[in-house]
Amino acid sequence: MKTMNPQNLSAQEASFDKLADLPFAEGRPTKETAQTLRDELLFQRATQAYLWAMPLINTLGMQVGSEKTFGAGYNILPIWKQRLDAKTLVTTPNSDVLYAMSYVDLGKDGPLVMEAPPGLQGILLDYWQRPIPVEGGKFFGDVGLAGPDGGKGGKFLLLPPGYKGPVPEGYYVYRSGTYNVFIFLRGFFEDPTNLAPAVAHLERTKVYPLNGEAAAKPMKFPDASGIPADMLPISDGSAFDQLKLLVDRESDKLAGPDWLGMLAAIGIVKGQPFTPDAHTREILDLAAKTAYKMSRVIGFQDTLNGGSLYMYPDRHWINPLDNVTPPSPRTTMDLSWMNVAGGYRALDARIWFFTDYYSISPGMLSKIPGKGAAYMVGFTDGEGEPLVGGNNYRLHLPPNIPAAIFWSLTLYDAANASGLDNGQRFPSLGSRDKPAQNADGSTDLYLGPKAPEGKAGNWLATVSGKGYFTILRLYGPTESAIDKSWEPGDIEKVK
């Protein structure tokens, strides 16, 4: 870790000193001191409220961007029918599966049924992006291959908080902690040149009110591919407007009295107008922008909860999920980011995750060979230096890459974790692209502004002046990925 520049530290200390030394007269704050500290208090409260709400702000960013572009309602399920490219701004998307994502409100529409065809991999999450528990206690959030249906498909019933009505037979029952629910589905394809069968399969999904299928709105599946849409976490003052709308819909289902009190302290109260004046609005906007930048600082850390995130003792790959395990009394942290041993919410770990990623479930953490996925994040090269768009790098993948379904490497913009807009159709390269192998069965991938001579099929473009990071995904990781006996090389700088 690099130390802070002493000159910058002195400037920072001077700023703190200025606040601490504001004058009081006869034991009372002067008018100017009071105004300065009131503004500072609003700024600090808003900044901390933003960071606390990072999972909500991530979800709201996706919802606002999607619904603005593709429409809203339980019957609207956008599908990236030509795969997800860099025109869709969203945290760490995967261009190597088909995405379908929607946002439903159980408070407005009541219990909803989602019918899903076989063979999908999906997650049902509340607005904190906590996987929704399935009645019976064995599953959390997962739908499809890792869910209670085991990939056979079926009817999944979403119930709102506190629901006490009848529960009919024949459904997998999910009881949400919030009225608002995020539906995230992945569809798989075998031939990248013919996605139509996988799209048609995803379009067999239906969402409709319980006992209201006959009168339900017809499903719509807008094609989201190639259409500009900003679905990133909201990084300006409008984040607080969206939190106000969510508080109005959720109230005490969203948070406990302390954090509802923090929101109230910046003017966000259920059922009351949220009309900040121009001065307050300016402070809230600056707080949101600052908090988002703070989240980016946390998001590039290589340690959390006092421990290293590195996967291997001699490599620079990080696994964002190694510190998170499915709910169990034996775990160190559950999927609501509670540190079980310490009995506290691991706020930095939650911020770390939701500034760069979204959605999590036990199925994503599966240690059963051939199921789930393994993720390896590369923030730096083999020397521990950040990846630079103008440099050339090589990544060596040893033979027998342990992925039963497929593997891929994807590049992400360091500024916002969205897919790197590098001029190629997709910022990813993987097994289904059939890169050339070496004589021993290993594979070398190349990252840089220009393809090395004769290596274009194994090359991902980078952009000079734009930093990035990478994710190596192994879908259906086999035993050597799970026990870490197979290790990818570091990303090494080359001339």
- 241-284 residue pLDDT tens: 999 999 999 978 899 999 999 999 999 999 999 999 999 999 99
- 43-66 residue pLDDT tens: 999 999 999 999 999 999 999 999
Which secondary structure element, helix H or strand E, spans residue 349, and what is its range?
helix 347-356
Query: What is the reported pLDDT for 5?
Result: 56
Share of the chain above pLDDT 70, in %: 95
Looking up tokens 């003052």, which residue turns up? 237
The tokens for 126 are: 């509340």
Q: What average pLDDT does range 201-210 have in this prediction?
A: 97
Query: What is the reported pLDDT for 331?
Result: 43
Query: What is the reported pLDDT for 364?
Result: 82
Residue with the bigger pLDDT between 111 and 4: it is: 111
Q: What average pLDDT does range 179-207 have in this prediction?
A: 95
- 280-321 residue pLDDT tens: 999 999 999 999 999 999 999 998 877 788 999 999 999 867
Q: Does residue 373 surpass a pLDDT of 90?
A: no
CA proximity to 103, closest of 416, 417, 359, 337: 359
The 3-state secondary structure of 37-91 reads HHHHHHHHHHHHHHHHCHHHHHHHHHHHHHHHHHCCCCCECCECCCCCCCCEECC
Q: What average pLDDT does range 374-398 have in this prediction?
A: 97
Q: Does residue 9 surpass a pLDDT of 60?
A: no
- 55-108 residue pLDDT tens: 999 999 999 999 999 999 999 999 999 999 999 999 999 999 999 999 999 999
The CATH code that applies to domain 303-494 is 2.60.120.600
Architecture of the domain made up of 29-54+235-299 = Orthogonal Bundle (1.10)
Q: How confident is the model at residue 389 (pLDDT cuts 50, 70, 90)?
A: very high
CA proximity to 24, closest of 34, 14, 13: 34
Q: Decide if 411 contacts 422 (C-beta within 8 A).
A: yes
pTM recorded for the entire structure: 0.93
Q: Does residue 4 surpass a pLDDT of 50?
A: no
* Torsion sign over Cα 302, 306, 310, 311: negative
Pick the CATH number of 68-230 from 3.40.50.300, 1.20.120.80, 3.40.50.800, 2.60.40.1610: 2.60.40.1610
Q: What average pLDDT does range 215-219 have in this prediction?
A: 96
CA proximity to 153, closest of 204, 195, 112, 104: 204
Q: What average pLDDT does range 116-140 have in this prediction?
A: 94
- 432-443 residue pLDDT tens: 999 999 999 999
Query: What is the reported pLDDT for 323?
Result: 55
Query: What is the reported pLDDT for 306?
Result: 75
Q: Does residue 341 surpass a pLDDT of 90?
A: no
Summary mean pLDDT of the chain: 93
What residue ranges do the domains of the chain occupy? 29-54+235-299, 68-230, 303-494
- 456-486 residue pLDDT tens: 999 999 999 999 999 999 988 999 999 999 9
Q: Does residue 330 surpass a pLDDT of 70?
A: no
Q: What average pLDDT does range 184-203 have in this prediction?
A: 94
Share of the chain above pLDDT 90, in %: 82
Same topology, domains 29-54+235-299 and 303-494? Answer is: no
Give the C-alpha distances (Å, rounded to integers) separating 216 from 69, 191, 278: 22, 34, 43
Q: Does residue 152 surpass a pLDDT of 80?
A: yes
Distance CA 142, CA 24 (A): 58
CA terminus-to-terminus distance, the chain: 26
Q: How confident is the model at residue 206 (pLDDT cuts 50, 70, 90)?
A: very high
Q: Does residue 167 surpass a pLDDT of 50?
A: yes
Distance CA 254, CA 260 (A): 8
CA proximity to 84, closest of 221, 226, 230, 229: 226
Query: What is the reported pLDDT for 8?
Result: 59
